[in-house]
Amino acid sequence: MNIRKGMVLGFMGILATSGALAQKFEGLAKTPQMGWNSWNKFACNVNEQMIRETADAMVSSGMKDAGYLYVNIDDCWHGERDVKGFIHANAEHFPSGMKALSDYVHSKGLKLGIYSDAGWKTCGGRPGSRGYEYQDALTYAEWGVDYLKYDWCETNGLKAEGAYLTMREALRKAGRPVLFSLCEWGDNKPWDWAKPVGHSWRTTGDIWDCFDCIEDHGTWQSRGVLQILDLQEGLRVHAGPDHWNDMDMMEVGNGGMSVNEDRAHFSIWAMLASPLIAGNDIRSMSKETAAILTNKAVIALNQDPLGVQAFKYATRDGVEYWFKPLENGDWGFMALNRNKDARKVSFDWKKEIVNDDLSKRDAAFGKTRYSLQNLWTGRAAGNTAKALTADLPGHDVLVLRLSAR
Ligand code: GLA
C-alpha cells in the first residue's frame, strides 16, 4: 500500500469511528407527540405513586384511547450521581426505581418520558447532564425511557446546537429509540438548526395558566395562551413530520382559565400542530376538562398526516381566522375571539381567497363546495355555499372541519 492510500484509509477509519455523526431516531413523531407531563401541575412534587396513578388515569379517562402515549416526569426526579458518575432517581420519592416504573407504564401500553438539562444543573437545581451525556443516555436506556425533554438552564458558555447534538449522539449510542424534545425556549432559534437534532423544539419560554397575560418573575417572564400564540409568527415554515414547533405543555384543566378559554387553548395547540402534552392532574379532572382533552375530531386536526401547521388568514375586529390544510383536500378552520366580550362573526366563504404557499393548496371556495362539521358541538354546520354567521363568546373559538368530499 502506498503512503498516500494508507493515509486516506486511516482518515476514513477515524471518520467511521468518531467523526461521522449519527441521525436522530427517525419517525418517532410523524405527527406531533401526545402525552402528559408533571411540571405544570406538580412542579417538583413528583413521586412514583403519582406517576403510576397518572398512567392508570391515562387509560381510564379515555386519554390513551384518544391518542395520548407518553407519561413524562419533568424536573426533580433526581437523586445524586454515584462515585462513577451515574445518576440515580431520588430514593425517597422513587423507592422502586425507574426501571420498575417504566415497566409499569409500559404494561399499560404507554411510554415513559424523563427530563434532563444540557447544563450543569437543571432549572430546579438538580444534577444536569453536562459532561455526563453518554452515561445519562445509557442509564435512561437501561431504565426503558422512551422520551427525553432536555432543558437549557445553567448553560453559560455552551453553544445550543452543539450541546443538543452531543445528547442526540449519546442517545444514538445508547441504542434505545428516544423521542428527543428540545426545551431551549427559542433563545437560539432552534427552528434553524434542530430538524436533524430532535423531534420538537420549544419556541418560547414557559407557559402561564392564563389566556391573556404576562407573569413577570423578575429576570424572566411566563406567558399566557395568546402571548405564546403571537410568538409563533413566521415559524410554521420550519415545522413538519418529525420536527415540530412546541408551544409548551398545556394548562387545560389547571383552573386558571374558564372552560371557553381552555377550549380555545386546546384548539390553538391542535391547529398549530404543537405537541399535545397535557399538564393537569388527570386523576381528578372534571368532565369538561376530559371532554376537551379527548375531543377526537379536534385531535385529528393536530394529528393530520400532512403535518402542515395552520396559518392566520385574517384578523377582523379582534377575531382571528385560521386555516390548516389537511390530508385529502380537507381544511381545518378556527375563528378565535381574542376579545373578552362576545362578537357576532360572519364569513362569506365565496368572497375569501384562501390559499397557502407552503402547502401549495388553494381552497378555491368559488369553485368547490365544502361541507362543514362543528368540531366542538359535533354537529353538521351546513356548507360553504352560504356565508357563515355565528355568535362567538369572549375568549372562545369556533372550530370547523371543511370536507370537499
Ligand atoms: C424550565 C422549562 C419548564 C420546566 C422547568 C423545570 O422552566 O422550560 O418546562 O421543565 O424548567 O424546572
Pocket lining: 206 vs ligand 1, CB cutoff 6 Å? yes
Determine the Cα angle at 225 with ends 224 and 229, to 5°.
Answer: 120
- 370 neighbors 335 (Cβ within 8 angstroms): no
43-98 pLDDT, tens digit per residue, is 999 999 999 999 999 999 999 999 999 999 999 999 999 999 999 999 999 999 99
- Any idea which residue has 381510564 for its cell? 60
Rounded CA Rg of the chain: 23
CA-185 nearest atom, ligand 1: 8
Pocket lining: 225 vs ligand 1, CB cutoff 6 Å? no
User: What pTM value is reported for the model?
Assistant: 0.95
Q: What is the pLDDT of residue 20?
A: 74
37, 39, 220, 254: residue to mutate for ligand 1 pocket, most atoms within 8 A of CB: 39
- 262 neighbors 247 (Cβ within 8 angstroms): no
Helix-strand-coil split of the chain, %, nearest 5? 30, 25, 45
Chain-centre distance for alpha carbon 110: 17
347-365 pLDDT, tens digit per residue, is 999 999 999 999 999 999 9
Q: Which of 254, 339, 248 is nearest to 288 (CA)?
A: 254
Q: What is the pLDDT of residue 21?
A: 82
277-327 pLDDT, tens digit per residue, is 999 999 999 999 999 999 999 999 999 999 999 999 999 999 999 999 999
Compute the distance between CA of residue 109 and CA of residue 104 in angstroms, rounded to an integer: 9
Among this protein's residues, is 304 annotated catalytic? no
Domain spanning 25-302, CATH architecture: Alpha-Beta Barrel (3.20)
Query: Ligand 1: distance of its center to the CA of 153 in Å?
Result: 9
Pocket lining: 79 vs ligand 1, CB cutoff 6 Å? no
Q: Where are the domains of the chain?
A: 25-302, 311-403
Compute the distance between CA of residue 127 and CA of residue 140 in angstroms, rounded to an integer: 15
From 206, 248, 304, 396, active-site residue: 206
Q: Give 19's pLDDT tier (boundaries 50, 70, 90).
A: low
What number does CATH give the domain 311-403? 2.60.40.1180
Among this protein's residues, is 151 annotated catalytic? yes
From 74, 75, 146, 151, active-site residue: 151
Cell numbers that stand for 22 in this block: 449519527
Which residue puts its alpha carbon closest to atom 3 of ligand 1? 206
Pocket lining: 117 vs ligand 1, CB cutoff 6 Å? no
Q: At what angle do helices 160-174 and 133-143 cross, to 10 degrees?
A: 40
Q: Which of 139, 141, 143, 193 is nearest to 163 (CA)?
A: 193
